[in-house]
Structure 1
Amino acid sequence: MIKSTAISYTLKMNKLYRPGFIRCFSDDNTNHPHPIKRTLKLLRNDMKKVKQFFTPTSENNIDIKREKDHDSTPLDSSEFQTHCDVLIIGGGSIGSSAAYWLKKKARQGLNIVVIERNSPISNGRAFSTMPVGGLRQQFFLPENIEMSLYGAEFMRNSKDELGVDINFDPQGFLTLASEENAELLNKMSKLQNEFGARTEILTAERLKLKYPWLNVEDVAIGCQGLEKHGWFDADMLVLGLRNKAKEYGVHFIKSELVGFEFQNQPDVIMEGATTETPYSALDKAVVEMSDGETRTIKFAICVLATGSNSEQIARMANIGTGPGILQVPLPIARRENFSYTFKSDDINMPGLGTPCVADWNGMYFRRDGLTGNYIAGFGTNMKSNNESKERIFENTILPNLIRRLNVLQNATVTESLEASYEYNVYDENGIIGTHPYYNNLYIATGFSGLGLQQSPAVGRAISEIIIDGQFRTIDLTRIGFDRLIVDRPMYEYSFM
């Protein structure tokens, strides 16, 4: 196995110089209210949160849906945390999950702050999500299979874990393969079953008998998830994680990161890194509040979970622009896509037991609810500067639907939604773990459309490496940042 000197030394340095969880209470900002008044207010809020933690009321769980339209209220300026143990940048599914797991494990032992530029819910939708809200384990890499299996377990117990029902619909996923990629799909199914994900290979003949509305003339085989496959309410998952983290005492601050402040540590020497300048550690985050005021937050540990904005945030820490190891960028880009809700008057259209069907060209469709609506789209990038979303449906989506559905002659679009997600342009897989240069920076991004279903496992993994110093439940070492340095991509062969 190829290892660089810098990486091996970094692993040692992480153990020797891992920052301790020291709570700092000094505040020299004279523009704030009197320190005694501010402290008393913080203590009152903390006592309320402790009471909620030990004696949660049913009202906290029942009223969670109301927060979809009232969750963007910024934190009172007198409660602003100038110091924290863990600063999480990004309040979406991954950031909220990391906050939830860290606070659940550490209780009052950690002061955790989440900064977010916008509320994760906009117009009743989680804008960090794809509208399919899919849950599946049809992957090639063991890490993704195991993370998605845990996601299914977590969502099944969402009422116990978060006090909310994410409305999981277990209709399953059906992945289709041509002769060209049938062997790969067979291998994937065997591996999935080895790790506990129950999938079944169906021949074209069996597919035709089971789903007579499906055109299988060019289909060699299909792989269907027998359990723990389906879709869920993405908004409720994000809100559940977020609200439970708040209940445990996490501080969410509506602000935008505009930079970092660094602290020179000349006593730290890293092999393989440049010796021209002393080692500089991340020390403070510079944020711009909603009123335009610029403030700083000093932290011991920082978690980068900013989705499609991750590369820009990383550049603020000189990742991708600095010398030595810092020359390697965080290869995350934004991908934009469209999904469509459509209706068809044909009485022979797929019924209530229809799985989400994923074609090998990236198209997917599934039934939506009880009223004869369907959702369709492409898992690949469909954004075009030259075509409107209506033309994309007519020219790209509809012809593929008609080719795959024997009974479909026409479709009427009732709603279209533009969605964006983070995309790892290096190997289309997530990046999780410590950065090889900054021993107090943890990365959790690049899950390329899988962030929602994998967020429970990713948040748990971040809490493990911060609190325990290692992965304990699922070993995600192979999908860390180090693979970018040694150029060992971890490709995922997902059909959607």
Structure 2
Amino acid sequence: MTSDSQNPIVIIGGGAIGSAIAYFLTLQQPGCEVVVVERDPTYAQASSALSASSIRQQFSTDINIQISAFGIGFLRHAGMLLACQGDAPDIGLHEGGYLYLATPAGEATLRENHVLQTQHGADVALLGPQQLAERFPWLALQSVALGSLGLSGEGWFDGYLLLSALRKKAQSQGVRYVADEAVGLDLAGSDGVRHVTAVRLKGGAVLPCRHVVNAGGPWAAAIAGWAGIALPVVGKRRTVFHLASPAALPGCPLLIDPSGIWLRPEGKGFICGFAPHADDDADFAPLEPDCNAFESHIWPTLADRIPGFEALRMQGAWAGYYEMNTFDHNAIVGLHPACDNLVLANGFSGHGLQQCPAVGRGVAELLLTGRYQSLDLSPLSVERITRQQPLLEKNII
């Protein structure tokens, strides 16, 4: 990589991904000059702040399972790793597990995934209908052929607290956060390979840089476009519903129903969500909750699956963006061949919070040493898109 050691590394986007990269850069190389540009320090529309904030090992690709293996270890020790001046943050990690339910049509996929997951040491059990009924008597198991339950290493946490702790720790290590909006890149170079010399800000400042990291979340395609790069990343609205029910669901994990609805405990109630049909999933839809979906889809489906939910009530709802990689719903990480110092960390498609520790560490290694040292993230490189070879993940939520 071409570099100018007199200039800082500039990260565009101060959410969980950008802040994790900043944290690991200054952890791995104390004194490394890093500037994070974040246009909204309140994170009012940030995916990190609006996420349901969970982590799982139940993926169907080697790289995603390995990323999550590091991620759960980081989250378990976040209080120690991100402590500042003796103040250890508590991100509220609860390892309640994921439970995937499959119809006969999906049973083979769960079994195939289980083989790969256990090869990587994931603590996941396959349960037949009788075992599911004994463990979760509140479930109605019509049409269910198999369940896959994470026994450890899976669950949920407070994503905003993780983001805040990463940012605070990065700042304590010398990272400078700039409250402004990046609006362009200054470029040099020819022969098809460009080099970013500076990041331009809306307020008029120009930040010279040796490397620039695109951690722009749903808006990553616009940033890449400043360098003449087409990036298949868009914002897809996802609504999270806050529910109340008199029914008790002892031992309730994060449930993934065959319908695509997910549900998990939250305080004294529950939260849930779903992926809209492609025909009703516009890019960058306004961040207004799709409350009509509760009456038409969520309530009747959950009441069929959990009979005690006939008295389910919606207490509230909010919406945030998935930074969706429309090519294959997996992250795009690493250098782009058309620009020798622009690093991509985009398109996490709903997995950004759980993947930010491993991606933050990996991108920091790439920037500081020229290659990945701990975990090879090259399966997530942009080259798979230019080759039209998608990294297919079967366990999409």
TM range (shorter): over 0.9
Distance 2:361 2:10 in 1: 16
Q: Which residue is 1:282 aligned to?
A: 196
Which among 249, 272, 291 is matched to residue 350 of structure 1?
Answer: 249
- For residues 310 and 123 of structure 2, the distance between their equivalents in structure 1, rounded to whole angstroms, comes to 34
CA distance in 2, matches of 1:470, 1:264: 23
Which of 234, 237, 240 pairs up with 2:162?
237
Alignment deviations for residues 25-60 of structure 1 (CA, whole Å, 9 cap, x no partner): xxxxxxxxxxxxxxxxxxxxxxxxxxxxxxxxxxxx
Counterpart in the other structure of 1:148: 68
Q: Deviations 1:275-314 (Å, cap 9, x if unpaired)?
A: xxxx54221111112xxxx121111111111111011111
The offset of 1:361, in angstroms, is 2.5
Match of 2:2 in 1: 19
Alignment counterpart, residue 314 of structure 1, candidates 221, 224, 241: 224
SS in 2 for 1:242: helix
Distance in 1 (alpha carbons) for counterparts of 2:334 and 2:47:
25
Residue 4 of structure 1 is matched in structure 2 by none
SS of structure 2 residue aligned to 1:222: strand
Q: CA deviation at 1:316?
A: 1.2
Alignment partner of 2:231: what SS?
coil
Letter in 2 for 1:116: E
User: Residue 92 of structure 1 corresponds to which residue in structure 2?
Assistant: 15
- 4+ residue stretches of structure 1 with deviation over 4 A? 379-388
Larger radius of gyration: 1
Counterpart among 206, 210, 213 of residue 296 in structure 1: 206
- Consecutive unaligned residues of structure 2, counting only runs of 5 or more, are 84-88
Matching residue of 2:150: 225
> Could you tell me which residue of structure 1 aligns to residue 86 of structure 2?
none
Tell me the amino acid that sits aligned with residue 375 of structure 1. I
Summarize deviations over 1:102-151 as a string: whole Å, max 9, x none.
0111111x2110101112533xx964345421111110011110111111
* 3-state SS of paired residue (1:490): coil
2:363 maps to a residue whose letter is I
The change in CA–CA distance for 1:480 and 1:96 in structure 2 (over 3 A counts) is same
Tell me how far 1:389 sits from its aligned partner. 2.8
Provide the TM-score with structure 1 as the length reference: 0.75
More RCO (CA 8 Å, sep 6+): 2
User: Which among 125, 134, 138 is matched to residue 209 of structure 1?
Assistant: 134
List gaps (5 residues or longer) in structure 1.
1-17, 24-83, 274-278, 320-328
Q: What SS does structure 1 have at the residue aligned with 2:122? A: coil
Give the secondary structure class of the aligned counterpart of 1:152.
helix
What one-letter code is carried by the residue in structure 1 that aligns with 2:207?
I
The residue type paired with residue 146 of structure 1 is Q
Structure-2 residue corresponding to 1:167: 92
**Is residue 2:55 matched to residue 1:135?**
yes
8 Å contact kept, 2:221–2:234: yes
- Which residue pairs with 2:311 in the alignment? 410
Equivalent in the alignment of 1:481: 382
Within the candidate set 333, 339, 348, 1:438 is matched to 339
Alpha-carbon distance in 2 for matches of 1:20, 1:258: 22
Structure 1 counterpart SS, 2:67: helix
Structure 1 position 181, deviation (Å): 1.2
Question: How big is the alpha-carbon RMSD for the aligned residues of Structure 1 and Structure 2?
Answer: 1.9
Range with greater deviation from structure 2 (377-386 or 182-191): 377-386
CA distance in 2, matches of 1:457, 1:359: 28
Cα distance in structure 1, aligned partners of 2:114 and 2:276: 22
- Residue 395 of structure 2 corresponds to residue 494 of structure 1: yes
SS in 1 for 2:100: strand
The CA deviation at 1:379 is 4.3
Counterpart residue type for residue 197 of structure 2: D
Q: 1:115 aligns with which of 31, 34, 37?
A: 37
Question: Does 2:272 align with 1:376?
Answer: yes
